[in-house]
Structure 1
């Protein structure tokens, strides 16, 4: 589709602004597809707009803080996953937003896990319960007569 795996030559060039643009493209395509499916005849221009039929505009501003924390690799991974989901089935704009928020949470959790693993490796993998496990404990012994 728009950003497939094969068209992503270098993931380092895919920024958070590219991800936001891609989400906007997916949402606009989904809205136009939804409008086309709701109109059964070719006389759609005669139909007056019904406010209940309008799709609520969803602001992507709520996601910008999370997106800015992601690496370009994570942004590209989210775009590829959304592309695969949108190719498999016709998604409503609300479904796209739900999937996007879940993928953002998933990537944030992966980022936090990788950070924690890096911290543990830097600390030398010390055991929290008994950090001096390898050394022999010093003890005093008394002999009573």
Structure 2
């Protein structure tokens, strides 16, 4: 089984405009970084016209599909029937996207099949991470 899972999703951007814009996004889970999920947006979907990637806890995404979760830069909550809202807070402003909850649950099932919840620590390479940290400190 590949150590990386990627899943394309359609994100509906929420803005002050009356129409919601649908943009492609990619959810990514890497066994080498077992606590994290990455969500990437292509250049046409961003204000700056460059690819943007947000990193947040897998547990935050899992919890947020059922109840409000998060206090910081990324917040997740259920919205209506079959949707989940992700809020991304940055100095430039806040981006809100709707995703299909079924898509998120399918992604999380695949990620949990790769690394079950509670087993994340078994996939950390602490020696490598410490060596990288000390290399940068020189």
TM-score by length of 1: 0.24
Write 1 or 2 for the structure with the bigger share of helix.
1
**Structure possessing the higher radius of gyration over alpha carbons:** 1
Higher relative contact order (CA 8 A, sep 6+): 1
TM (normalized to structure 2)?
A: 0.25
